[in-house]
């Protein structure tokens, strides 16, 4: 059970709730903060002051004052009018991450909402009833308005939900789950949709996957290094102590740990080769830079996860409603674009090692890693796939955050496009996971040409994990299934765990 309080939710908590259905509850102190904030809203309404979001229209229509007789209708109309997203439904794990992130932001007690809608969000999570949310439509300021409106639409008993893998009208789904829709009152519709939770949800899940991918990439790179008879001396501590970027030092320590006790490396210590190609020699510097980006993004996400991101904000200490722009997604948009670039570069790096492994002029191994080349094409075509994916990523790396199209009659005249940054990032990640899967298969095939010499302690375990699921390529066969098999090993962390059981935990 994870207690949310608006202050301490971590990326790992979000992943556990989104993917592993961990239960959620509201912290008692959070409930008190929510109640205090709500009292301020109710007092302001009684004073009949004109306050944005309480008794006005929205965006450019904020100059229109709304009668107290229509404040509930105003909130319903807000949700209905904003529920105009298009595209495929978001995956359930992203929807669940959105829900818990929105609940956590509201739990800070600066949104003026009652506890009832927050508790409904939590009940929906715990009973696994998920709003159907189209993936496209957010500009990333005033937050992820349109996706969050589809979430809120389900909460008022409209729209559609996914319950037990079936799609229902929300009111029917709620009935089956034993829940009741809620009636929104002053400020509550706006409080539910004003926030950065779509882009932040994608950020949390992608960051977790990126960290898993980076460990896999380091193992695959070491297998390629051994197959290409590269040296481990470029990973020595002395080199990295004099250029002490944290990610570089972490990567060098990991690579050194993975490559211990290698008969293959020992066999060519006195060869005539002076130094390796950059994709082998510079692994700590390149992969380490991506590790540094992940750490930067982690700090940004932790702050955003535990922030109040709607407008106006309600301050119970001073009984004020203050309008600002905490819904603007620029910090997250930059971070997701940056993370996409850092992960794409891991794919570029890996593809060049794959190309080197299959080129007999560079590798000293049989052409395309097959003993009957010509009759068999071996690993020629998997490199095509890796190249295609790397090329696609170069297009996807164009930053969405450098664009802005004004909206709401120029009231909202600069937006972050952070949701687009996030959707691109998901594609980049999947592409690179497939590239690393191809490197694992290619390096496994290559390393076996060095028998009877044994690879390092780490790489021999990785090789065994691969061979337990995919046999050596002795003659041509369709390899799509092989690639997907290793892709799954990367995604679920199985290969990492196998290696860590023998050499210790990778950083």
Provide the CATH number for the domain around residue 235.
1.20.200.10
Domain shared by 53 and 103, yes or no: yes
Domain shared by 454 and 341, yes or no: yes
Burial of 101 by CB count in 10 Å (0-12 exposed, 13-18 middle, 19+ buried)? buried
Residue 292: which residues within 8 A CB-CB, separation 6 or more?
Answer: 245, 246, 247, 248
Number of domains observed in the structure of the chain: 2
90: DSSP letter: P
Domain shared by 125 and 262, yes or no: no
Among 503, 349, 362, 356, smallest CA distance to 443 is for 356
Domain shared by 266 and 139, yes or no: no
pLDDT at 54 over 80: no
Domain shared by 79 and 173, yes or no: yes
Domain's final residue, options 169, 195, 221: 195
Domain shared by 132 and 234, yes or no: no
| pLDDT score recorded for residue 412 | 84
Please confirm, yes or no, whether 168 is among the known catalytic residues: no
| pLDDT score recorded for residue 326 | 92
Residue % of the chain over a pLDDT of 70 = 98
Residues 479, 466, 235: CA angle, nearest 5 degrees: 115
R_g of the chain computed on alpha carbons: 26
Question: Which residues span the domain enclosing 305?
Answer: 202-309+320-503
Q: Which residue has the higher pLDDT, 411 or 342?
A: 342
Domain shared by 125 and 214, yes or no: no
Question: Mean of the pLDDT values across residues 377-385?
Answer: 97
- pLDDT digit string, tens, across residues 151-172: 999 999 999 999 999 999 999 9
Q: Which two tokens stand for residue 226?
A: 């051994």
Catalytic residue among 52, 168, 278, 296: 52
Domain shared by 42 and 188, yes or no: yes
Domain shared by 63 and 111, yes or no: yes
Is 75 contained in some domain? yes
CATH number (domain holding residue 88): 1.10.275.10
231: DSSP letter: -
pLDDT at 59 over 90: no
Q: Are 16 and 92 in contact (CB under 8 A)?
A: no
Is 412 contained in some domain? yes
Is 314 contained in some domain? no
Q: Are 465 and 498 in contact (CB under 8 A)?
A: yes
Q: What is the dihedral of CA 22, 28, 30, 33, to 10 degrees?
A: 160
Domain's final residue, options 138, 168, 195: 195
Q: Across the chain, what does the average pLDDT equal?
A: 94
Distance separating alpha carbons of residues 417 and 404, to the nearest angstrom = 7
Domain shared by 126 and 217, yes or no: no
Is 315 contained in some domain? no
Least confident of 61-75, 262-276, 374-388, 445-459: 61-75
| pLDDT score recorded for residue 57 | 67
Domain shared by 51 and 119, yes or no: yes
SS3 readout for 131-168: ECCEEECCCCCCECHHHHHHHHHHHCCCCEEEECCEEE
pTM: 0.96
Banded model confidence at residue 62, pLDDT cuts 50, 70, 90? low
Domain's final residue, options 140, 163, 195: 195
pLDDT at 420 over 90: yes
Domain shared by 330 and 346, yes or no: yes
């Amino acid at each position: 059970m994870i207690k949310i309080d608006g202050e301490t939710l971590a990326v790992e908590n979000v992943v556990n709730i989104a993917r592993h259905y961990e239960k959620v509850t509201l912290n008692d102190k959070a409930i008190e903060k929510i109640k205090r904030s709500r009292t301020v809203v109710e007092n302001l309404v009684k004073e009949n002051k004109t306050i944005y979001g309480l008794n006005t229209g929205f965006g450019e229509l904020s100059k229109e004052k709304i009668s107290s007789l229509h404040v509930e209708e105003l909130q319903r109309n807000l949700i209905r009018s904003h529920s105009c997203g298009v595209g495929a439904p978001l995956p359930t794990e992203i929807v669940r991450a959105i829900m818990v992130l929105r609940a956590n932001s509201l739990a800070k007690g600066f949104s003026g909402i009652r506890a009832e809608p927050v508790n409904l969000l939590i009940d929906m999570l715990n009973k696994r009833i998920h709003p159907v949310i189209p993936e496209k439509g957010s500009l990333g300021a005033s937050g992820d308005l349109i996706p969050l409106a589809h979430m809120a639409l389900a909460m008022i008993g409209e729209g559609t939900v996914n319950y037990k893998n079936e799609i229902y009208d929300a009111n029917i789904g709620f009935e089956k789950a034993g829940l009741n829709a809620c009636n929104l009152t002053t400020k509550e519709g706006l409080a539910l949709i004003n926030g950065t939770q779509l882009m932040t949800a994608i950020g949390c899940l992608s960051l977790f996957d990126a960290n898993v991918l980076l460990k896999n990439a380091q193992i695959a790179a070491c297998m390629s290094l051994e197959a290409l008879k590269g040296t481990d001396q470029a990973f020595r501590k002395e080199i990295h102590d004099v250029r002490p970027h944290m990610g570089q030092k972490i990567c060098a320590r990991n690579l050194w740990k993975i490559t211990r006790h290698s008969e293959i490396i020992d066999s060519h210590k006195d060869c005539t080769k002076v130094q390796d190609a950059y994709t082998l020699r510079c692994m700590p510097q390149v992969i380490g830079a991506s590790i540094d980006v992940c750490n930067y993004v982690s700090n940004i996400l932790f702050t955003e996860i535990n922030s109040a991101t709607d407008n106006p904000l309600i301050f119970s200490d001073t009984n004020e409603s203050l309008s600002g722009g905490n819904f603007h997604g620029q910090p997250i948009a930059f971070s997701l674009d940056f993370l996409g670039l850092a992960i794409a570069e891991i794919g570029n790096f890996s593809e060049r090692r794959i190309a080197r492994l299959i080129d007999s002029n560079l590798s000293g191994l049989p052409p395309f890693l097959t003993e009957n080349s010509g009759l068999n094409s071996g690993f020629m075509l998997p490199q095509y796939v890796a190249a295609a994916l790397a090329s696609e990523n170069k297009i996807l790396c164009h930053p969405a955050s450098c664009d802005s199209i004004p909206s709401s009659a120029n009231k909202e005249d600069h937006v972050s496009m952070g949701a687009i940054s996030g959707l691109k990032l998901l594609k980049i990640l999947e592409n690179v996971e497939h590239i690393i899967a191809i490197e694992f298969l290619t390096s496994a095939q290559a390393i076996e040409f060095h028998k009877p010499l044994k690879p390092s302690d780490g790489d021999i375990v990785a090789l065994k994990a691969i061979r337990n699921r995919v046999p050596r390529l002795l003659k041509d066969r369709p390899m799509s299934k092989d690639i997907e098999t290793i892709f799954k090993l990367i995604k679920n962390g199985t290969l990492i765990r196998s290696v860590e059981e023998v050499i210790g935990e990778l950083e």
